[in-house]
């Protein structure tokens, strides 16, 4: 009897549940996180979901779909924990989708930001990192966004869609950033985000009550890093060149001038690139081979006769010209900044490890800015849409 009693009492000990359990109603689910550097302190902004606002059953609509909580501290963790003085619950980072770094913080160096995220046990490595261009990260995170209620989700989706369909953006995840920051032969590059329009209205609900929201976010340009510090921006054409060289370009559009302020639209349907390195007379050389397939999607000039094979040849040459300028500009801009964002050094390490061992310490400042790059660009125009020459006069 006593034995049975003891056993049943001991069983009760097992019913206390998990030690580290955290119920859903005790969590603040963070979707977006912003880091700023302000007067010697980190300012961490968490954009958290307001669960009652996004549920389908009980729509209230009097509150924003997410809320921003902010904390300050000398370390990021201190800043993160100080959030509890404002927030009712503890933040949970397992569903983080977008990580915005303010430009000032990025210029100061992002090693510690990456380190703390990689060290944390809650964060996964699959969120995207972006840089708030010319603004603070918090401004990016307090926007009402149309269509998608959750701004962070909207941003992540937009980033991933534009990476696929519009060239000058890249969706970099934490693990890729960590790999780039660890390697000597390649530098980190992250997409920039800007807030356009008036940020004051963007914070209010009126922003989504209009057809054209007065304040919106827009991805623009790629930030180049040297070491862990942001040192410059690539403009749109350079960014396009960057994604083309690094094989991040999937589909995009190219405009070919064909007359007075008239452009012919070309849709790139697939693009592959390969970087090859060689050592000629003790000097490194790089060959960038790009193979692109494209379609004609807009014929704005009537004098372009799409029924002739020669026209296609000519258009291919023009497209090639356009692609070549982009990549050349990107490379020369990167050389100017002495930032090997293309990973030529990493490729050199793979192809010529012995040579790499000799030059790796001087790669960034001496070899990369002087490297000779050859381009081998092939363009194939395959289709002209569903029509040949349209009969419109």
What is the dihedral sign for C-alpha 252, 227, 218, 255? Answer: negative
CB 290, CB 378: distance < 8 Å: yes
**From residue 293 to residue 332, what is the string marking binding to another protein with x (rule CB under 8 A)?**
----------------------------------------
Q: Under rule CB under 8 A, how many of the chain's residues touch another protein?
A: 20
| Interatomic CA distance for residues 182 and 178, integer angstroms | 6
Question: Contacting another protein (CB under 8 A), which of 82, 351, 369, 385?
Answer: 351
Taking the complex as a whole, how short is the minimal distance between the CB of residue 365 and another protein, in angstroms?
A: 22
**From residue 116 to residue 135, what is the string marking binding to another protein with x (rule CB under 8 A)?**
--x--x--xxx---------
**Interface with another protein includes 253 (CB under 8 A)?**
no
Taking the complex as a whole, how short is the minimal distance between the CB of residue 350 and another protein, in angstroms?
A: 4
Please say which residue, 182 or 261, places its beta carbon nearer to another protein: 182
Taking the complex as a whole, how short is the minimal distance between the CB of residue 124 and another protein, in angstroms?
A: 5
Beta strands in the chain (DSSP E): 27-38, 41-49, 66-73, 90-92, 98-102, 128-132, 189-197, 215-226, 229-234, 252-259, 262-280, 283-298, 372-383
Q: Which of the 8 DSSP states describes residue 366?
A: I
Q: Which of the 8 DSSP states describes residue 26?
A: G
Taking the complex as a whole, how short is the minimal distance between the CB of residue 175 and another protein, in angstroms?
A: 6
CB 34, CB 131: distance < 8 Å: no
**From residue 158 to residue 197, what is the string marking binding to another protein with x (rule CB under 8 A)?**
-----------------x--xx--xx--------------
Q: Which of the 8 DSSP states describes residue 169?
A: -
Contacts of 368 (CB under 8 A, 6+ apart): 335, 338, 340, 344, 345
Binding to another protein (CB under 8 A) within 8-47 occurs at 18-20
């Amino acid at each position: 009897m006593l034995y049975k009693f003891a056993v049943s009492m001991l069983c009760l000990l097992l019913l206390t549940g998990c030690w580290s359990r955290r119920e859903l109603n005790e969590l603040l689910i963070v979707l977006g996180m912003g880091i700023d550097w302000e007067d010697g302190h980190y300012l961490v902004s968490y954009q958290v979901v307001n669960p009652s606002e996004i549920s389908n059953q009980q729509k209230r609509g009097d509150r924003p779909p997410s809320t921003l909580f902010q904390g300050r501290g000398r370390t990021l963790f201190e800043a993160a924990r100080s959030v509890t003085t404002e927030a009712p619950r503890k933040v949970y980072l397992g569903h983080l989708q977008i990580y915005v770094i303010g430009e000032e913080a990025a210029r100061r160096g992002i090693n510690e930001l990456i380190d703390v995220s990689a060290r944390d046990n809650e964060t996964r490595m699959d969120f995207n990192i972006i840089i708030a261009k010319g603004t603070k990260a918090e401004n990016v995170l307090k926007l009402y966004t149309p269509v998608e209620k959750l701004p962070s989700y909207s941003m992540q989706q937009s980033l991933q869609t534009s990476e696929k369909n519009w060239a000058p953006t890249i969706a970099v995840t934490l693990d890729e950033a960590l790999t780039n920051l660890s390697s000597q032969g390649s530098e980190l590059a992250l997409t920039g985000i800007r807030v356009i329009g008036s940020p004051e209205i963007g914070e209010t609900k009126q922003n989504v009550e209009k057809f054209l929201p007065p304040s919106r976010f827009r991805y623009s340009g790629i930030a180049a890093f040297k070491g862990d510090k942001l040192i410059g921006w690539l403009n749109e054409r350079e960014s396009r060149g960057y994604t083309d060289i690094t094989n991040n370009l999937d589909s995009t559009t190219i405009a070919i001038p064909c007359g007075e302020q008239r452009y012919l639209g070309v849709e790139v349907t697939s693009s592959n690139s390969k970087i090859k390195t060689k050592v000629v007379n003790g000097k490194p050389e790089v060959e960038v081979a790009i193979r692109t397939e494209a379609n004609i999607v807009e014929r704005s000039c009537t004098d372009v006769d799409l029924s002739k094979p020669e026209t296609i040849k000519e258009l291919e040459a023009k497209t090639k010209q356009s692609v070549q300028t982009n990549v050349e500009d990107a490379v020369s801009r990167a050389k100017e900044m002495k930032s090997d964002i293309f990973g030529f050094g990493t490729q050199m390490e793979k192809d010529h490890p012995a040579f790499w061992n000799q030059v790796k310490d001087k790669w960034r400042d001496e070899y990369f800015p002087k490297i000779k790059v050859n381009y081998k660009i092939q363009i194939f125009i395959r289709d002209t849409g569903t029509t040949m020459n349209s009969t419109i006069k």
